[in-house]
Each structure stands twice: as C-alpha cells, then as structure tokens.
Amino acid sequence: MVTTSIKQMVRSNVGVIDRAIYSDPDIYAQELEQVFGRSWLYVAHTSQLSKPNDFMANYMGEDPVLVTKDAKGKLHTFLNMCRHRGNRICRADFGNAPSFMCTYHGWTFSTDGKLVGVPGYKEAYFEELDRTQWGLVEARTDSYKGLVFANWDKEAPGLLEFLGDAVWYLDIWLDRRENRTEVLGGMHRWVMPFNWKFGVDNFGGDTYHTMVSHGSMSLAGFSQGQRQPISTDKSRFQVAIGNGHCFIGGVDPELQKQPQGSTFNKETAQYIRDINEEQTARLGKVRGAHAMGVGSLFPNFSWIAAPFVRNWHPRGISKTEMWSWCIVDKDAPQEIKNAMRVELTQRFGPSASMEQDDANNWMGSTETSRSLTGKKYPLNMQMGLGRQWTSEIHPAKALNIPWSDTNWLHFYEHWAKMMDAPSWSQIQLDPIKHRQ
Ligand code: FES
Ligand code: FE
C-alpha cells in the first residue's frame, strides 16, 4: 500500500503529475485493487451473447473473466477460475456451451456459475463436499444499450451512476440507429511495453499529438483528420464529461452543418452524413450534430470514430495488452461494415499505421518514468489550464478547445480520487446533469 496521498502526485490545479504513477510497482498494485477492483469495466457486447449459453472471455484488470448468458437468458460475469486448484475453467475466447469442465481434475460449472459436476463425489468425497459453497466467483453485471460491464465491488454505485453523463454522449454512437449496434468480426490483441494509462489518456484528450505523431499520414495523403491547425476556435471542443470519462469531438450545433468525427475513409464519412437525419430524429438537434469522435470511459475502455474500440488491459506497471475491434451500427450496409473493418486493420492494430506512431511515444514516456534521473522530473499538463468553460447544451463538467490538457487532468483527478479513497462511501461522483 502506498502511503503518500496520490492526490499530491496529481497536482491538477497546476498541471503537474509525478511520474511515479507510471512506474511505481506499489502504485500499480494499488490501482489493480482500487481502480480495477472497484470500477465498472467493459467486458462484452450483448450481440456476442445473443443465445442462451453463449460466453465470451475477457479480463477485469489482470483477472481473467468469463461473461455468460445462462440457460434462462441472464447475463453473468465470473472469474475464469476453477474453485478446486484454480485452473481456468475455459480456454476458448468465445462460444456456446451449457457447462465448463476444468481440464485439470474435471470439476464442472454451469453457465449460471453452479458447481454441477465433481468426479469422485461419492467415492472420494463421500458426498460430504458442499457443492453450493464452491460455485464460480461472480462479479456484478449490467449493460447499457449493448455494452456489458462488470464490477467486483458490492459497494460500488450502479452502472448508470458510474457512467453519469457519459451516456448522453454514448447514445450518439449506441442509439443513433433503430437497431443499435453489434460487434463486427473478431479482434486484434497484442502486448506493448508501456503503462496502460498512456493509452487511455491519449484517446481521452490528446488532439495535440495528431499533427506531429500522425503528420506523415497527412503528408502521404492517408488521412484528412490530422491536418487541422491549432486554433482558438471554440466551435469544436473536447469534453471532460465527469467521473473521469472523456470525449474529444464536441461541436456547436449552430455552427456545424454536418456531424464531425474522426472518420477517415470517404465511404464511412459519407455514411455518417447519410444517417444524420435518422440520428437527429432519434437524439435531437444537438446530438444530431455530433459524430462520436475519440474518447475514453474510465478506466480502460476507449473508442475512436466509434466503431473502433479497445480495452487497455494492464499487464504489469510497464506492460499493456490491447484488445481492438469494431462495434458498428447493425443497420449499416454490409459494404460500410466491410469498409470499417478494413479501416480498423489499416489504422489501429498491431501492424497498423497510426498504432505504430503512437506506441513508440508511449514506450518512450514509460521508459523515462522508470529511469533514475527521468523519474525525478514531473510531467507537464498545463495546456489550457484555467481556460475551461461549461455549456448549456453539453452536460459535461468542463469543455475546452481541442488542444488542451483538460481531459487528461480530469481523468487523473478521478483516478487519484479512487486511489486515495479506502471505500466507495468516500468517493463522490460528479452530479448527473442529464437524466434520461
Ligand atoms: Fe479444476 Fe482441479 S483445478 S478440477
Ligand atoms: Fe494517435
């Protein structure tokens, strides 16, 4: 347990952050416990669990979990761990099965978590093993318009309270079309040597890096999105939503005629415009003017242009496993879905262009956070400090021009709050302005 207050390391009022938060193993242990052990974490999409006994494997922090739909249709999230000697009960990534038999000694669990089979129950255990006490370890599970989340902490607030005003923004993606969304195809998974927070904060608030880090893409003609010059124009902004959730891509609907977002390909950009009428009819004029931009839900789920989404799974203080895939509108034409899938592969993934630009930077930042002299010098997050504003039309806690560290500081302030508080009773969430 870290004894210094984490808040002293995250000095958001002056925009300075201690680098130990990226390199101290004690801080990492504490964040597994107090951030990943107590937050609602994205674990699956309901389209992956459409039939009884469907299952999907994921991680909550470093804990492997299985998300299941039981025979009666109820969603569960279980620790993927046999209660006998702790082996995993399932090695498949997804599928459909009425039960999971551990490959070590054969204990078998149903999709609602009960221990239903024990080899030698009569002969070796003399029927004295209380099987009701040795079912799977279960996390709380809930979903919001297709996104399934789970939480280990019984004291945590409900999912909607945790998401707060993020749902107002998520609807722009999850509810813009009548039949909502589905997962498209499989996913890319790979491990890189950087701290997980560098990825989350980049997706949640770093417009600044695009011109430099991804500048070569613009020069080569692969992307229009990276060419926007830095300006003080307030018609586009980034949004510190509340509770550590962040979004880049807010617009003033009076000034924007077409929804803007981080779409790159002509086909997908045109598709966003084509569905605008339906989106506006479903969500109103303000949210009709928005595309999904880039963002991060606290603590480790991000999207870019929605459909490209990812989990940032911590694998130690200096290692992150990325899971990257598409969540698309169910009603989108197949050729658009195909275009999105190709775009994902080209831009975001282990061999994709933008990914390589980004990952090298995060590796460099992680390395110097560990080095003897480097770690003595704090990080600078002072861009746009004190320039935030609020808006009648946006429920978010604060807005700033897209070139600002506001969202980063917002993420780290909430992270510090969770790291310092011994229980949920001492964590105050931001007030929700927009009730559904
Ligand atoms: Fe699973 Fe023994 S570890 S049955
Ligand atoms: Fe990037």
pLDDT tens digit string along 131-154? 999 999 999 999 999 999 999 999
Atom of ligand 1 minimally distant from the CA of 83: 1
pLDDT at site 354? 86
Residue 27 placed within a domain: no
Task: Give yes or no: residues 270 and 409 share one domain.
Answer: yes
Q: Which atom of ligand 1 is nearest to the CA of 87?
A: 3
Minimum-distance ligand 1 atom for the alpha carbon of 102: 1
Does pLDDT of 10 surpass 90?
yes
**What pLDDT is attached to residue 291?**
83
Residues 194, 322 within the same domain: yes
Output the pLDDT for position 243. Answer: 98
Does the beta carbon of 103 sit less than 6 angstroms from any atom of ligand 1?
Answer: no
> Is residue 231 in a domain?
yes
User: Quick one: pLDDT at residue 352?
Assistant: 85
Check whether 216 has a pLDDT greater than 90.
Answer: no
Q: Are residues 195 and 61 in the same domain?
A: no
Share of the chain above pLDDT 90, in %: 77
Mutate to test the pocket of ligand 1, among 78, 79, 101, 102 (most ligand atoms within 8 A of CB): 102
> Between these two residues, 179 and 267, which has the higher pLDDT value?
179
Domain extent, residue 167, equals 163-426
Going by pLDDT thresholds of 50, 70 and 90, the confidence category of residue 106 is very high
Give backbone dihedrals phi and psi of 248, rounded to 5 degrees, phi first.
-110, 125
CATH assignment of the domain containing 362:
3.90.380.10
Q: How far is the CA of 96 from the centre of ligand 1 (A)?
A: 21
Q: What is the predicted pLDDT for the residue at 209?
A: 92
Q: CATH number of the domain that 50 lies in?
A: 2.102.10.10
Out of 109-113, 260-264, 355-359, 361-365, pick the least confident: 260-264
245 alpha carbon to ligand 2 midpoint, in Å?
18
Q: What is the mean pLDDT of residues 264-289?
A: 89
The tally of domains found in the chain comes to 2
Q: Are residues 112 and 167 in the same domain?
A: no
Model pLDDT, residue 393: 85
pLDDT digits (tens, 9 = 90+) for 406-435: 999 999 999 999 999 999 999 999 999 986
Tell whether 199 and 121 lie within a shared domain: no
293 and 182 within one domain:
yes
Cα(102) to centroid(ligand 1), Å: 6
- Paired residues of 149 in beta bridges: 42, 142
Q: Are residues 301 and 358 in the same domain?
A: yes
Q: Is 109 in the pocket of ligand 1 (CB under 6 A)?
A: no
Say whether both 276 and 391 belong to one domain: yes
Task: Encode pLDDT of 360-396 as tens digits.
Answer: 999 999 999 999 999 999 999 999 999 999 998 899 9
To test the pocket of ligand 1, the residue of 78, 81, 83, 84 to mutate (highest count of ligand atoms within 8 Å of its CB) is 84
- The number of helices, as runs of H, and strands, as runs of E, in the chain is 12, 21
Contacts 24+ apart (CB under 8 A), 387-396: 388/240, 389/234, 393/253, 393/286, 394/239, 394/250, 394/286, 395/165, 395/168, 395/241, 395/242, 395/432, 395/433, 395/434, 396/165, 396/239, 396/240, 396/241, 396/242, 396/247, 396/250
* Residue 74 belongs to some domain of the structure: yes
Instruction: Please report whether residue 345 resides in a domain.
Output: yes
Which pTM value belongs to this model? 0.96
99: left (phi over 0), alpha (psi -120 to 50) or beta: beta
Whether residues 123 and 215 share a domain: the answer is no
Instruction: Answer yes or no: do 139 and 168 share one domain.
Output: no
My answer on whether 308 and 403 are in the same domain is: yes
Helix (H) / strand (E) element for 237: namely strand 236-242
User: Is 214 within 8 Å of 354 (Cβ atoms)?
Assistant: yes
pLDDT at 78: 98
* Rg of the Cα atoms in the chain: 22
Q: Is the peptide bond before 229 cis (omega within 30 degrees of 0)?
A: no
Domain check: are 219 and 343 in the same one? yes
Closest residue to atom 2 of ligand 1, CA basis: 105
Do the domain assignments include residue 282?
yes
